Amino acid sequence: QVQFVESGGGLVQPGGSLRLSCTASGGTVRLYSMAWWRQAPQKQRELIARIYIDGSTNYVPSVKGRFTIARDSAANMVYLQMNSLEPEDTAVYYCNYYAQQITWGQGTQVTVST
């Protein structure tokens, strides 16, 4: 059974950067379009970035220009580089298959605060 494991979150000051990592234990990220979601307190989970099989990417306006999604097929990893972080980016971040999600992992907490 495939399980996603996210890591790399933490506490960072506004304007700072973090790189999140995601691996698919028992599965592969190479053959699928992958995506990152986030869920802020009291809000629904939202899709923020996706990377297609051909390597093309797409972002929601709130993160475009600040976040970069990438895939390392050899390492079976998906990354989310987050720059110029804002307090509004505080959330639990998850990765999953883009087209059809499977069981969600634990996610990784990102807190942007002074």
* Continuous H helices in the chain: none
User: Which pLDDT value is given to residue 93?
Assistant: 98
Tens digits of residue pLDDT in 60-114: 999 999 999 999 999 999 999 999 999 999 999 999 999 999 999 999 999 999 9
Phi then psi dihedrals of residue 88, to 5 deg: -70, -10
Q: Distance between CA 57 and CA 66 in Å, rounded?
A: 13
User: Which pLDDT value is given to residue 19?
Assistant: 98
pLDDT at 23 over 90: yes
Q: Are strands 10-12 and 108-112 parallel, antiparallel or unpaired?
A: parallel
**Beta-strand runs (E) in 29-107:** 34-39, 46-51, 57-59, 67-72, 77-82, 91-97
Close Cβ partners of 53 (under 8 Å, ≥ 6 residues apart): 31, 32, 33
Tens digits of residue pLDDT in 43-72: 999 999 999 999 999 999 999 999 999 999
Sign for the pseudo-dihedral over CA of 83, 64, 39, 28: negative
